[in-house]
A and B are shown apart, each in its own frame.
Chain A
Amino acid sequence: MELRLGLALPTPPFDTNGSCSSSSSSSGGVGGGKKRRCFDEESRVGGGVPKTLHLLVWNTNRRDDGDEPRDLDDNSSSVVLNEEEGLVGWPPVKAWRKKLRRHNGRPNNNRIAAAKNSCGGCRASNSTYVKVKLEGNAIARKIDLSVHRSFESLTATLMRMFDISEEHQQKSFRLAYQDREGDWLLAEDVPWGTFIRSLKCIKLIRSRSC
C-alpha cells in the first residue's frame, strides 16, 4: 500500500537527478547497504522554502560536483561504522544503566548479567577516555585509549603522563584495571583485546615484592 503524496503547494520542482554521491554509506548494515538510489524526477518538496534568509539558494539543477565533500571517505571520523569495535552510542541506551551494574556482585543468570552490563560491553561503544589513577596521587588523569594498540604504547604514555622517567621507577609499577563487575585485576594477565573490552578504569600500582 503506497502512500500517495498529494502536495498542493506550488513549489519549484526539484530535479533530484543531481549529483548525490554515495559518500558515507560505504559500509552497509543489514541489507547490504544497497539502497535504492533512483529519485522520482517529479518529486516535489512539501512546504515552502523559508521566506527569510537563505545563505544558499536551493537549486540542484546544475551538477555541483565541486561542492560535494569528496574527501569524506578519506576522513575516518565521518564513518563511525567500525564492525570490529562497534558503534559509539548505538543502540541509544543510556550509558548510566551500566553503572548500576557496577556494584552487583551476584549475577542471577550469566546471560542476563551480561545483558545488564552490555551497555558497557564494547569498550569502544563508550567514550574512549578512561580514568587513570596513580597509587598515592589524589588527582586522577584521563587517557584516550583509542590511540593505543598495545600495552607497550599505553604504559609508555602513562609513564610520561605521571613523570615517571627513571627506569627503575618504571619497573616498580604495575598496570591494574577495574572491570565492569567492579573487580580489580592485573593487566598483565590478559591479552590486550580482553583488557580493552572489559576495563572501566586503570590504576598504576606499586608492585610489592610478591
Chain B
Amino acid sequence: MHKKTAFSFPDEVLEHVFSFIQSDKDRNSVSMVCKSWYEIERWCRRKVFVGNCYAVSPRMVIKRFPEIRSIELKGKPHFADFNLVPDGWGGYVFPWIVEMAGAVPWLEEIKLKRMVVTDESLELIAKSFKNFKALVLSSCEGFSTDGLAAIAASCKNLKELDLRDCDVDDLSGHLLSHFPDTYTSLVSLNISCLGSDEVSFSTLERLVCRCTNLRTLRLNRAVPLDKIANILRRAPQLVDFGTGTYAADLRPDSYSDLAGAFSSCKELRSLSGFWDVVPDYLPAIYPVCSKLTSLNLSYATIQSPELIKLVSHCPNLQRLLVLDYIEDSGLEVLASSCKNLQELRVFPSDPFGVEPNVSLTEQGLVAVSSGCPKLQSVLYFCRRMSNEALVTVAKNCPNFTRFRLCIIEPRTADYQTLEPLDVGFGAIVQYCKDLQRLSLSGLLTDRVFEYIGTYAKKLEMLSVAFAGDSDLGLHHVLSGCESLRKLEIRDCPFGDKALLANAAKLETMRSLWMSSCAVSFRACKLLGQKMPRLNVEVIDERGPPDSRPESCPVDKLYIYRTVAGSRFDMPPFVWTMEDDPSLQLS
C-alpha cells in the first residue's frame, strides 16, 4: 500500500521547485532524497558537469539525464598543460558527440577542457544539434579551422564560440566568412588562439556590424592595431574586448581615431590581447580604464614604468594578469591604486633564465597582500621567497581561496635563513581557512605536508613538485585533507606506503597524478586489483612495466575513480592495472 502523505507534492510542482536549483552539488543532493525525487530530478536536469570524461560513460550520462541541454567535460590531467602527458594519452570527445547526436538532439551547449576534438566531431556537432548555441573549447587540440567552419556555417542559433588556449590547425580557411550573411546571433567570439589565420577585415567588420548582441570579442594576433578602431565603432556595446597585435605604424590621426573608438565603448569592462605592444599607443585605452574590472597584459612585453602608468588609471580593477616586468615597484603601485583587486597572476618573462632578469621578488607579493584587502586568488612566479614574507601574506589575506606560488628554481630555500619554506606555507594553510587550491614550490620537507594535512580542511586541489622527504609527507595529505579532490605530484620521493595505506581515500577524490616519484609497479598492480572503482593507469614511454622488476618505480601514474571501468582507447604506452575479482577485499 502506497501511502501518500499530506506533504507530497505533484511532480510538476517539485519540478518547478527544482528548476530554481542550479548548482550541481545541490542537484545531486536533491536526487538522493528519495526515489521519486531522483526520478523527477533526472528528467529535469539541464546541465551536467563531468570532471573526468573517463569517470563515467556517455551512455550512462544520457540514460540518467535524457533532457540535458548543456554538457561540460574535462579530459586530460592538468599536468598535460606542461607537456607531462604524452601525446595520444586520450581525452577524445568523439564518442560523447556520437552518443549525444543520437539521443540528445536538443543539446545547446558543449564545454570542453583539455580534450582532443577532431574536425569530424565538430562536423557532427554542426549537423546534429539544430538549436546549438555555445561551443567553449579550453586547452583543446586535434582540430582545424575546417571543423570550426562547419559550426559557423550550420549553427544558425550560435551565440558563443570560444576557443581558449587551443591548439588549432590553421588552414587559413577564413573562418569568419563561413558565417552566413543572415547570421546575427553572435554574443561571444574568442579566436585569440588562432595563429596565422588571415582575418578578412571586411568580413569581420560586417559580422560585427550585423551581430548587435555581441558582448565579447577576442581577436587573434593577426589583426593589426589600425583595424581595431573600425571594429570598436561598429560594436560600442562590447563588454569584453581582446585586441590583436597592439603594434602598427600609426599616423597621428589614426591614433586619435583609436582613442575615440575606445571611448565610444561605454560598456567595456575587460581588455586582453596586447601582443607586441608599442607603449606609445597604450594611452588610447585610458578613456576606458576607469571602468575596467579585468585586464590581461600577460602578452604585453612592456616595462614597469608603462605598466605603472596603465595600472594607476584603473582603480576598479578586480583581475590583473601581467608579466613580471611589472616588478616590485609596479606591484606597490598596484597595491595603492587598485583596492578592489581580487585576482592577480604574475607570469615569468624569462622562465628558463637562471639569473633574474627583472626586479620582482617576494616584496611585490607582500605589497599587494597588504594593500588589496579583497585579494582572493594569486598565481605568482618569482625567484626568491622567505618564510617571513609568506607568513605576512597569510596574515594579510585570510580570505585566499587560491594560492599558487612558483619559485622558479626547484628546491629554493628561504633566501634569508636558508631554511625550508615549510613554516611559510604552513601559515598560508593555517590562516586561509577557505583555501581551495594550493600550489607549492621551493625547499619543502615532510613538515609542510603535516601542516597541510592539519589545517587545509577545505583544500580541493593541491599541486606539489620537488618537495618532501618521505612517504610521510604524502600520508599527511591523504589522511588529513578532507576536501581533497585533485592531487598532482611530480618529482617527489613518495612511494608505495602512503598510497597503499590510503587507498580508500583515492575513491573520494577525482584523481591523483604522480610522475617521477617512487611508486613501484607492484604497488600499482595491487591498487588496481583491490580497488575496482579506480582506474590505475601506468604511463611509461620506456616500454611495458612488466619488462622491468616489479620494484621498479613507474614513470607516471594516473589514478582516478570511475564507474565506467577500464577505458578502451589507451595508446601503447598506457597500461591499466586490472581488477582481480578473487582478490577483492569486502
Q: Show the binding face of A for B, using Cβ within 8 Å.
A: 1-3, 5, 7, 14, 16, 18, 20, 22-25, 28-31, 33, 35-37, 39, 43, 45-50, 52-58, 60, 67-69, 71-72, 75, 77-81, 86-96, 99-100, 102-104, 106, 108-109, 111-112, 114-116, 118-119, 121-122, 125-127, 129, 142, 144
Contact = CB atoms under 8 A, between A and B. Distances in A.
A95 B83 contact: yes
B357 A111 contact: yes
A104 B348 CA distance: 20
A92 B406 CA distance: 8
A102 B470 CA distance: 42
Interface residues of B, number: 100
B347 interface: yes
Given A1-B391, A24-B491, A106-B276, 10 more contacts: A3-B451, A36-B445, A47-B480, A67-B496, A69-B520, A92-B82, A94-B82, A94-B165, A116-B301, A127-B87
A72 B381 contact: no
Given A54-B500, A67-B496, A91-B348, A28 B479 contact: no
29 contacts: A1-B391, A3-B430, A7-B454, A16-B446, A30-B409, A31-B413, A35-B469, A46-B455, A46-B480, A50-B505, A55-B526, A56-B496, A56-B497, A69-B552, A72-B553, A78-B516, A78-B517, A81-B491, A87-B410, A90-B465, A95-B81, A111-B350, A112-B349, A115-B349, A115-B353, A119-B351, A122-B352, A125-B83, A127-B83
User: Which of B83, B418, B451 has most A Cβ within 10 Å?
Assistant: B83
User: Which of A30, A48, A57 has most B Cβ within 10 Å?
Assistant: A30
Interface string B189-203: 000010110000000
A3 B419 CA distance: 14
A47 B453 contact: yes
A24 to B, nearest CB: 5
Interface in B530-586: 530-531, 540-542, 549, 551-553, 555, 585
Contacts of A69: 495-496, 518, 520, 551-553
A50 B299 CA distance: 46
A118 B348 CA distance: 10
Interface in B449-472: 450-451, 453-455, 463, 465-466, 469-472
Contacts of A111: 350, 357
A190 B454 CA distance: 55
B518 A92 contact: no
A75 B545 CA distance: 13
B516 A79 contact: yes
B196 A103 contact: yes
Contacts of B222: 103
B209 interface: no
Interface in B80-117: 81-84, 86-87
A100 B79 CA distance: 20
B427 A20 contact: no
A56 B501 CA distance: 5
Given A20-B470, A100-B275, A103-B196, A121 B352 contact: yes
A47 B479 contact: yes
Contacts of B553: 69, 72, 75, 77-78
Given A36-B420, A69-B520, A16 B87 contact: no
Given A7-B454, A36-B445, A91-B406, A96 B193 contact: yes
Contacts of B518: 23-24, 69, 72, 78
Nearest to A146: B541
Contacts of A122: 352
B501 A35 contact: no
Contacts of B495: 67-69
B453 A31 contact: no
User: Which of A24, A36, A109 has most B Cβ within 10 Å?
Assistant: A24
A46 B476 CA distance: 7
Contact of A89 (B83, B446, B541): B83
Given A47-B480, A53-B585, A106-B276, A80 B491 contact: yes
Contacts of B234: none
User: Which of A3, A5, A33, A75 has most B Cβ within 10 Å?
Assistant: A3
Contacts of A95: 81-83
B395 to A, nearest CB: 10
Contacts of B388: 1
A127 B167 CA distance: 15
A75 B451 contact: no
B114 to A, nearest CB: 11
